Structure formats: C-alpha cells, structure tokens
Chains A and B, each alone.
Chain A
Amino acid sequence: GIQVEQSPPDLILQEGANSTLRCNFSDSVNNLQWFHQNPWGQLINLFYIPSGTKQNGRLSATTVATERYSLLYISSSQTTDSGVYFCAVGAGNNRKLIWGLGTSLAVNP
C-alpha cells in the first residue's frame, strides 16, 4: 500500500517565524489533504490539494504530484498554530485515506 512520510516529526518555533512541513508519498494519489489537530484534539481540514497550490490566510500548500510530495507553509506563525499537522492521501476509487504520523508543532510566544 501507499506509504506516507512526514517531516520533520517535531518543530519548535518562535512566534512570527515561518516554517515548511513536508509530506512524501510512495505512489500516485488522487486525493491529498492536510489537517491540523489542535491541542484539544479537534481535527480540522486545512486543504484538499491533490495537485497545485492553494492559499488560505497565513497558510498555503503545494502538491507536486509527479514528484510525490506536498508542502505546507506556515507564515508568521502564532501560538494558535500549535498542534499536530497531518497529511493524508488516497488513491483510486477507494475513499479511504492513508495517514502520515504527523508533524508536532509548538509555537512559543
């Protein structure tokens, strides 16, 4: 099956810093989503981005499907950005998502 690897596993930032999170996947996908799990456990969908680039405020994401990776950019980080960021992918007609282990982000004031 498809393997999903996220890097780095952990990241500590000072408020205001920028960061890039990476998601590598081992096979062609037709579904890729980025999620944020906040410190209270709630999972929020950030982007549905099987290819191309999207932006939402201080967050943006780029997926290069031919090279099997996706990047999540966080600019001017805030303490509320803390939590775990997950990448999840899907392929074919199966609607299940394969999840990475996440990047744990801590933004310090």
Chain B
Amino acid sequence: DAGVIQSPRHEVTEMGQEVTLRCKPISGHDYLFWYRQTMMRGLELLIYFNNNVPIDDSGMPEDRFSAKMPNASFSTLKIQPSEPRDSAVYFCASRGSTDTQYFGPGTRLTVL
C-alpha cells in the first residue's frame, strides 16, 4: 500500500489567497483526520471524518477553514483567505479497523 498521500508537499502563498490541501487515505480506511502542527501549539486535531461524514470539527480554528470528503479516497482542507498565522505543517492521517493512525508526509504551508 502506498500509505497516506498528501499534496502539495510544500506551499508558499501570499496573504489573502485561497489554499487547498489534498489527502488520499489508505484504501479501506474509514476514518480520516486533519492535524496542524506548529512550534507554539504542537499537534492539533482540526477535524475528523468517519465514512466521509464530518464527526468532530471543534478544532477548526475559524470560518476561514473548511474541509470536505466527497468520497472514501479523497479529502480537502481549504483556507480562504489565508493569513500568515496559518503557516504550519498540515498532516492528514487515516485509520481502519484498529485504532492505529497512519500519517501522511504533511504539507508545509507558508503564508507570506
């Protein structure tokens, strides 16, 4: 299996622009998680899905952030408009029948 796939790996954008991060979970996994990692706040769960349905989005920082999972093999995290304080590494993870979470390589976002 290819593992969790994220794209792009790096993104540099200017303040005010829309940013879309993409994730393909491991085939057969029914849970998908979006995390953000910063030096100041560590790893934070933003949102997670079960069978493509958002279950807990309490970690989404504000209305500028939105996430979708249109099918079992694809999810997006969108930031519109982006701000410099959104700069972070964004991870996607998935899990299947066990509780073990498997992480993608992350997307390093820099907002100038």
Contacts and interface: CB of A to CB of B under 8 A. Distances in A.
Given A42-B105, A96-B56, A86 B99 contact: no
Contacts, number: 47
B106 A45 contact: no
Nearest to A48: B100
Interface string A22-57: 000000000101010000011111001010000000
B contacts with A: majority SS:
strand
Contacts of A88: 43
B102 A95 contact: no
Contacts of A83: none
Interface residues of B, number: 23
A31 B45 CA distance: 16
Contacts of B67: none
A36 B13 CA distance: 29
Contacts of B89: 41
Counting chain A CB atoms within 10 Å of each CB, the highest count among B43, B48, B108 belongs to B43
Contacts of A41: 89, 105-106, 108
B1 to A, nearest CB: 14
A6 to B, nearest CB: 10
Interface of B: 31, 33, 42-45, 48, 50, 55-56, 89, 91, 93, 95, 98-103, 105-106, 108
